[in-house]
Homo-oligomer: A and B are copies of this chain.
Amino acid sequence: MSDNATRLTGTSFAVLTLIELLGPSTPYELKQALERSIANFWMVPHTTFYAEPTRLVKGGFLSERQETGGRRRKVYSLTDAGRSVLEAWKCSAELTPPQLREEGVLKIFAGADPVPVFRARCDWHRAKLAELEGYLEAVTGEDPAWEGVRASLVVGVAYTRMMLEAMEGFLESQAATGSP
């Protein structure tokens, strides 16, 4: 009946999911996988991410053992409790609202000129698009267990491309009316 149970956040489920996909893993392996996938739609700073497995062990959702050679890193595996909360989360229909933090729009709100803001964001989204397409290419033809991984990258690519096209359209329309 303890009420200070480990709170499970999106970051927790990100870690659990990665271990389910990869099998027993070290924190760095998890982090590498994260950055090529989940981090693009569920951002986690690395210091938070490294802390998460420890929390999950404390909550009984992961078990931990030490590598015997090399750096003697810790290797984490799912426990039955971990597997079961992960399954429950996947099946549940509940979704926390999407959270967006876009400093560019904040500046526009404050009265800044939208053109440089969108130009900067176009560059950012162009780079991101190339990055995501690279990740997607790397997982095509993989194991069917990775279907969700592929699907999420497809969503990410579509989203990024949509944003990029919308902003490019805006900038072109501005260029047409802005200067003679």
Residues of A within 8 A of B (CB): 10, 13-14, 17, 20, 37-38, 40-43, 86, 89-91, 93, 95-112, 114, 116-117, 120-121, 124, 145, 147-149, 151-152, 155-156, 158-159, 162, 166
Q: Is the CB of A10 within 8 A of B98?
A: no
Contacts of A42 in B (CB 8 A): 100-103, 105-106
Q: Is the CB of B41 within 8 A of A100?
A: yes
Contacts of A93 in B (CB 8 A): 116, 120
Quick one: closest B residue to A98, CB to CB? B102
The answer for the CA separation of A89 and B91 in the assembled complex, in Å, is 44
Dominant secondary structure at the A interface: helix
| Min CB gap A110→B, angstroms | 4
The answer for the CA separation of A151 and B104 in the assembled complex, in Å, is 12
Apart from the given pairs A10-B106, A100-B101, A109-B149, 11 other A-B contacts in the complex at a CB distance below 8 Å? A17-B106, A17-B110, A43-B99, A43-B100, A43-B101, A95-B117, A98-B102, A98-B121, A105-B155, A106-B152, A108-B152
Q: Is the CB of A98 within 8 A of B109?
A: no
Q: Is the CB of B158 within 8 A of A166?
A: yes
| Min CB gap A68→B, angstroms | 31
| Min CB gap A55→B, angstroms | 18
Quick one: closest B residue to A152, CB to CB? B109
Q: Is the CB of B107 within 8 A of A124?
A: no
Contacts of A104 in B (CB 8 A): 95, 98
| Min CB gap A128→B, angstroms | 9
Q: Is the CB of A109 within 8 A of B38?
A: yes
A20, A38, A103: most-surrounded residue (chain B CB, <10 A): A103
5 closest Cβ pairs, A-B complex: A109-B152, A111-B148, A99-B101, A41-B105, A17-B110
